[in-house]
Amino acid sequence: MTEASTAIRLNPFKGCDGPEGTPVPWSPHGRILSERPNFTLDPLFHAGCYYVQDSSAMYVGHIFRKIVIPSEAKEPLRVLDLCAAPGGKTTDLAASLREALGNAFELTANEVIKSRAGVLVGNVAAWGDPNILVTSVDPAIIGRGMKGYYDVIVADVPCSGEGMFRKDPRAVEEWTPQLPGICAARQKRILADSWPALKEGGILIYSTCTYEDCENDANLEWAARELGGDIIPPENEFAEYGVELTRCGNLLRAGTVPGEGQWVGALRKTSQTPSGKCKVADLRPLDCALQLFDGPEPRVELDLQQSLKYLHGDTFSLPDAPLGMLVVCYRSHPLGFVKNIGSRCNNLYPKGRRIRMDV
């Protein structure tokens, strides 16, 4: 088996080229890199100019664009990324929605595990799209409270992880013969709990990073049969790149495609759901402190070393800059805020996102 590849996906709204690479066939902004650079030491990574994401994981975004954008592009489009951390699929969905619909969409990124939700908040903040709301609630709460609210639910559910064996030794250590069955039952619960939040006629995009039929095709068939939906017949326009066609979706195998393992399928909801009275704000979105920097604060350009010191949380001085609040930038891309008091700048970069390695 070949070694795991490294891929990135550019942020089309930051106007940055990022590291060079070969195109990902199913992602308009994806690139496969020839080697893995030290992303921690690239300020453009921290500025949200690109996201490090496995190329196979980008296939979910391809299915979303293929199925949702042509048929559901109306105002506003409400999308729920149900198991969103660490944020790769969320930022991919956000870019696709903004390119197709402008500002006419709502994207809720939910992660029930609080520690993972913190990582999601940081990545969404760096990406910088104001139409993303991050929440951390159980799928059952969303299902009960947001009945019929969403046009699309993307569920990249926790799975037995066989598609990550090449990249993640822990996935190998944790696997047991009983694990796929346990995961399949958990996935059914997640789908059933969140199902009321999807409107009648809405689309579910369901994905895993395993090869197990009981977690993939069989579970989507179960959802169609028991919850009420029509499976959207899969196509395979990327067979030449190693993508496989299954009963209900597409399978990407590590070693056959450039990236790791991924399975994706979709269905359209046919069962009825009464409309609820809740709004997305009722889910108590987490605060992202988005890196938009559209305010009147002066901007100051930093060089590479200054940028790394800032991202590390160090104190430094900008003797030629105006006093007060400043936006510091690297290659014109905002990194965050400082307060210049003359003798030094108070570093306001969030502590939880600071570089920990020596710079």
> Which pLDDT belongs to residue 282?
67
Task: Count CB neighbours of 130 within 10 A.
Answer: 12
| Residue whose structure tokens are 């400082």 | 338
Nearest to 334 by CA among 307, 314, 358, 315: 307
Q: Which amino acid is at 260?
A: E
Interval 75-95 mean pLDDT: 95
Round the average pLDDT of the chain to a whole number and report it: 92
Give percent of the chain with pLDDT exceeding 90.
83
- As a whole number of angstroms, the distance between CA 317 and CA 324 comes to 13
Classify domain 299-353 by CATH architecture.
Roll (2.30)
Q: Which amino acid is at 321?
A: A
- As a whole number of angstroms, the distance between CA 354 and CA 299 comes to 20
Q: Which amino acid is at 304?
A: L
Segment 61-82, tens digit of pLDDT: 999 999 998 665 566 899 999 9
Position 142 pLDDT exceeds 90: yes
> Number of C-alpha atoms within 13 angstroms, CB side, residue 83?
18
> Which pLDDT belongs to residue 38?
96
Dihedral sign of CA atoms 229, 67, 254, 244 in order: positive
Q: What CA–CA distances, in Å, run from 130 to 127, 192, 232?
A: 9, 30, 31
Interval 117-126 mean pLDDT: 93
> Number of C-alpha atoms within 13 angstroms, CB side, residue 329?
14
- As a whole number of angstroms, the distance between CA 78 and CA 72 comes to 10
Position 292 pLDDT exceeds 70: no
> Which pLDDT belongs to residue 87?
97
How sure is the predictor about 352, in pLDDT bands with cuts at 50, 70 and 90? confident
> Which pLDDT belongs to residue 73?
56
Burial of residue 103, with CB atoms counted within 10 A of its CB: 0-12 exposed, 13-18 middle, 19 or more buried = exposed
Burial of residue 66, with CB atoms counted within 10 A of its CB: 0-12 exposed, 13-18 middle, 19 or more buried = middle
* Segments of the chain assigned E as strands: 6-10, 22-23, 30-33, 50-52, 77-81, 105-110, 132-135, 150-156, 198-208, 229-231, 244-245, 249-252, 262-269, 299-302, 324-330, 333-340, 345-347
Q: What is the dihedral of CA 91, 94, 98, 103, to 10 degrees?
A: -130
Higher pLDDT, 341 or 352: 341
Q: Which amino acid is at 93?
A: L
Higher pLDDT, 294 or 152: 152
| Residue whose structure tokens are 């938009």 | 292
Higher pLDDT, 278 or 263: 263
Interval 245-270 mean pLDDT: 97
Position 296 pLDDT exceeds 90: no
> Which pLDDT belongs to residue 190?
98
> Which pLDDT belongs to residue 171?
83
> Which pLDDT belongs to residue 43?
96
Tell me if residue 214 is catalytic.
no
Interval 57-62 mean pLDDT: 98
Position 349 pLDDT exceeds 80: yes
All structural domains of the chain with their residue ranges: 6-52, 59-283, 299-353
Question: 15 by DSSP, 3-state: which?
Answer: coil
> Which pLDDT belongs to residue 252?
98
How sure is the predictor about 289, in pLDDT bands with cuts at 50, 70 and 90? confident
> Which pLDDT belongs to residue 186?
97
Position 284 pLDDT exceeds 90: no
Interval 76-98 mean pLDDT: 97
Position 141 pLDDT exceeds 70: yes
Tell the CATH superfamily of the 59-283 domain: Vaccinia Virus protein VP39 (3.40.50.150)
Segment 145-197, tens digit of pLDDT: 999 999 999 999 999 999 999 888 888 888 999 999 999 999 999 999 999 99
Give percent of the chain with pLDDT exceeding 70.
93
**Active-site annotation holder among 209, 248, 288, 345:** 209
> Which pLDDT belongs to residue 18?
82
> Which pLDDT belongs to residue 212?
97
| φ, ψ at 259 (rounded to 5°) | -95, -155
This prediction has a pTM of 0.94
Task: Count CB neighbours of 127 within 10 A.
Answer: 25
The answer to whether 61 and 92 are in contact (CB under 8 A) is yes
Q: What CA–CA distances, in Å, run from 290 to 129, 229, 286, 334?
A: 8, 37, 11, 11
| Residue whose structure tokens are 């450039």 | 258
> Which pLDDT belongs to residue 16?
83
How sure is the predictor about 230, in pLDDT bands with cuts at 50, 70 and 90? very high
> Which pLDDT belongs to residue 80?
98
